Every structure is written in structure tokens, then in C-alpha cells.
Amino acid sequence: MGDRWHVEVDRSLCIGSAQCLHHAPHGFRLDAARQSRPVEPDTDANERILEAAESCPVEAIVITLGDSGEAVFPPED
């Protein structure tokens, strides 16, 4: 069984660039304020979701392991 992730978008950072939608169109949606939201905050580990987080120009997407809360992205220093 694979890892489960918890995906959040820091709405105070999100600038609505929609890069997340480009990389993971089924993983994110823009709301009326043009800010990103995960479609399913708790999801199976997914390379496209990780690519979306990595492509965010302001690192507004945070991914943690669902069971432990350990950082997946951005990595801890």
C-alpha cells in the first residue's frame, strides 16, 4: 500500500498562477478569487501533485505524509 498525503494550499501565498492546474489538472481547482484549492486534501501519493507543488512559483502548496505529518514538500531544511 502506498503513502497517503495531505495537501494544503497556503491561501496567503497563492497568487493564482495556475501552474498547479497545468501539472495536476485533476488535483487542483481555482476558486472565484483565482486561488488554488486541492480537489481532495487527503489523497494517495501522486507524482503529478508533487510536480504541481514543485512548480508553484511561491511554494504555496504544502504536502505532508497523512499518517505522520512529515514534510514531503517543501522539504524541511
- Tens digit of pLDDT for each residue in 25-47? 999 999 999 999 999 999 999 99
Please, which pLDDT band fits residue 61 given cuts at 50, 70 and 90? very high
Q: Cell 480537489 identifies what position?
A: 39
Q: Are 27 and 54 in contact (CB under 8 A)?
A: no
pLDDT at 2: 72
Please, which pLDDT band fits residue 1 given cuts at 50, 70 and 90? very low
Closest-CA residue to 22 (of 44, 54, 45) = 54
pLDDT at 75: 84
Closest-CA residue to 63 (of 6, 13, 19) = 6
C-alpha span between 62 and 5 (Å, rounded): 10
Q: pTM higher than 0.95 for the full model?
A: no
